[in-house]
């Protein structure tokens, strides 16, 4: 899984809980992306009632500040997501970037081509290595990096209207969140997406600074992955 967002950490947690061996490749030094800074550097995040059970499962404190909206400390939330994800058994490898995907029979994604992030940051030319995987999840947020690699290398063949990454629309938080949870995030044979990457790939509305949809999306993609792994390899 290629990760930069909180939905990736949630997915990693639930996948491990289901006994699925998962590795997260994190481009940055630390995991969790922008969630550390909350909204505009004010260290708070907001979660709706529907997703509060995930905060509870990760043992993150929250306060109901108006009906159906809970506020949590952003640093506590992101460190809890990361801690419990690793603790559950998923491995996070930091400072690793995805350069390409591996493709085999039927053009199915069967792994990732990775390299040290420091190599490209330092503008060096060093060859990457390849890692096999039964399923790949794109958790790179609105950049949707893995999905973009697929369209650039293999043509516009994603499971979207145009076959390409459509790009998220302007912000309409309630609609964006609902669309996100409703969407089946399988974007290509062997490749799923989660979190804002789903909004970007399918052209859904941008979500606001309310994080519930993100957390639920991580849970959903873990459930779908487990289903697919049982049925495709069975």
User: Which residues of the chain form contacts with its own copies (CB under 8 A)?
Assistant: 29-41, 43, 59, 61, 73, 75-76, 78-80, 82-83, 86-87, 91-95, 100-104, 113-119, 121-130, 149-150, 152-154, 167-173, 205-206, 208-209
Positive or negative CA dihedral for 136, 141, 147, 152? negative
For the record, the structure tokens of 182 come out as 């409703």
**CA 14 to CA 84: how far, in whole Å?**
10
Phi, psi angles (nearest 5°) of residue 37: -90, 0
Least Å distance, CB 211 to its own copies, is 9
**Shorter beta-carbon distance to its own copies: residue 37 or 163:** 37
- CB neighbour list of residue 25: distance below 8 Å, 6 or more residues apart: 1, 2, 3, 93, 96, 97, 98, 112, 114
Least Å distance, CB 85 to its own copies, is 8
**Shorter beta-carbon distance to its own copies: residue 204 or 221:** 204
- Residue appearing with tokens 């979660």: 47
**Shorter beta-carbon distance to its own copies: residue 94 or 226:** 94
Least Å distance, CB 6 to its own copies, is 11
> What's the DSSP call for residue 37?
G
Positive or negative CA dihedral for 119, 120, 126, 128? positive
Least Å distance, CB 165 to its own copies, is 14
**Shorter beta-carbon distance to its own copies: residue 63 or 230:** 63
């Amino acid at each position: 899984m290629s990760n930069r967002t909180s939905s990736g950490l949630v997915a990693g947690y639930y996948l491990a809980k289901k006994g699925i061996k998962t590795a997260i490749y994190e481009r940055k030094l630390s995991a969790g992306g922008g969630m550390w800074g909350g909204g505009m550097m004010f260290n708070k995040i907001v979660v709706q009632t529907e997703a509060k059970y995930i905060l509870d499962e990760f043992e993150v404190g929250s306060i109901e500040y108006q009906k159906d909206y809970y506020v949590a400390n952003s640093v506590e939330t992101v460190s809890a997501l990361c801690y419990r994800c690793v603790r559950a058994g998923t491995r996070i490898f930091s400072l690793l970037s995805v350069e390409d995907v591996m493709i085999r029979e039927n053009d199915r994604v069967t792994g990732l081509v990775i390299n040290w992030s420091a190599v490209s940051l330092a503008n060096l030319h060093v060859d990457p290595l390849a890692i096999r995987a039964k399923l790949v999840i794109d958790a790179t947020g609105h950049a949707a990096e893995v999905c973009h690699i697929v369209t650039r290398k293999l043509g516009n063949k994603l499971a979207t209207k145009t076959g390409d990454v459509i790009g998220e629309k302007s912000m309409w938080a309630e609609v964006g969140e609902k669309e996100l949870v409703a969407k089946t995030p399988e974007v290509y044979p062997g490749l799923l997406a989660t979190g804002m990457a789903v909004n970007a790939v399918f052209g859904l509305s941008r979500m606001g600074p309310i994080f519930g949809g993100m957390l639920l999306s991580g849970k959903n993609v873990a459930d779908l992955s487990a289903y697919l792994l049982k049925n495709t390899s069975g």
